[in-house]
Amino acid sequence: MYSKLQYISQGETIEKQLYNIHQALDAGCNWVQMRFKDQNQKDAYTLAEAAKPLCKKYASTFIINDDIHLTKEVDADGVHLGLTDTKIDEARAFLGTSKVIGGTANTFEDIQNHVQNGCDYIGLGPFRFTATKEKRSPILGLSGYYDILQKLKKNKIEIPVYAIGGITLRDVNPLMETGIFGIAVSGVITESDEKEKLIQQLNEKLYANIIV
């Protein structure tokens, strides 16, 4: 069973990344995506090697952003691939069937392609403008999610879809009403002074079974 709440790590250095990951785990996150952009392979490996046992200690799923080779090397639980990263089917052929593969999507067609190529879950966004992403796709908003989720239902495509992009606590209820499975967040957790309380509140809304 996938967690409905994903934490995407932040930090310019290995130390800052590890600190943020540890804080999120300690506060109750049980799904971490390690996102350490524009770093050399050595640093990315060092971080992954340290983050993996930390996630294991907290019984948390450990996903690596973009890098299928690093995913295999450290035996992470899976990989999350952006629209311009390795193709889903290539990643599946390389990693085999036991690894979780997530894919970023901005349109219904993106999701369709990902599902056909063996993707396990979708990060659909952005919900709104977010400073953590440099190359941004068109903003979806609530109506965008609703339209895409309706198309998935109509076409009988079943896959966990996570909303992503500048999501705050007050956005969760209206987002869940669109039919999404969960949310992927970064800054809202990293910057919170009350992480445990926030994660508890997010999970309460995510698991409240709003959709009948």
Residue 115 lies in a domain: yes
Mean pLDDT, residues 168-187? 97
pLDDT category, 210, cuts 50, 70, 90?
A: very low
Directed axis angle between helix 41-57 and helix 14-26, to 10°?
20
With H, G, I as helix, E, B as strand and everything else as coil, classify residue 159.
coil
Domain presence at residue 45? yes
Helix (H) or strand (E) holding 62: strand 61-65
SS3 content of the chain, % helix, strand, coil (to 5): 45, 15, 40
Phi, psi of 196 (to 5 degrees): -60, -45
| Domain assignment of residue 122, yes or no | yes
What's the confidence (pLDDT) of residue 131?
A: 66
Residues 6+ apart with CB under 8 A from 93: none
Mean residue pLDDT across the chain: 95
Structural domains counted in the chain: 1
Backbone angles phi, psi at 33, to 5 degrees: -105, 120
Question: What is the CATH number for 65?
Answer: 3.20.20.70
Q: Is residue 212 part of a domain?
A: no
What confidence tier does 134 reach under pLDDT thresholds 50, 70, 90? Answer: low
Range of the domain at 85: 5-205
Percentage of the residues of the chain whose pLDDT score is greater than 90: 91
Residue 68 within a domain: yes
The kind and range of the H/E element at 34 are: strand 31-34
25 within a domain of the structure (yes/no): yes
pLDDT in tens, 64-100: 999 999 999 999 999 999 999 899 999 999 999 999 9
Q: Per the domain annotation, does 22 fall within a domain?
A: yes
Are 50 and 18 in contact by the 8 Å Cβ rule? The answer is yes
Per-residue pLDDT at 168: 96
For 51, the enclosing helix (H) or strand (E) is: helix 41-57
Domain assignment present for residue 146? The answer is yes
Please determine, for residue 7, whether its predicted confidence score (pLDDT) is greater than 80. Answer: yes
What pLDDT score does 38 carry?
A: 86
**Are the CB atoms for 68 and 91 separated by under 8 Å?**
yes
CB 70 within 8 A of CB 44: yes
Residue 212 has pLDDT above 60, yes or no: no
| For range 167-173, the mean pLDDT | 97
pTM: 0.95
Q: Phi and psi (nearest 5°) for 16?
A: -65, -40
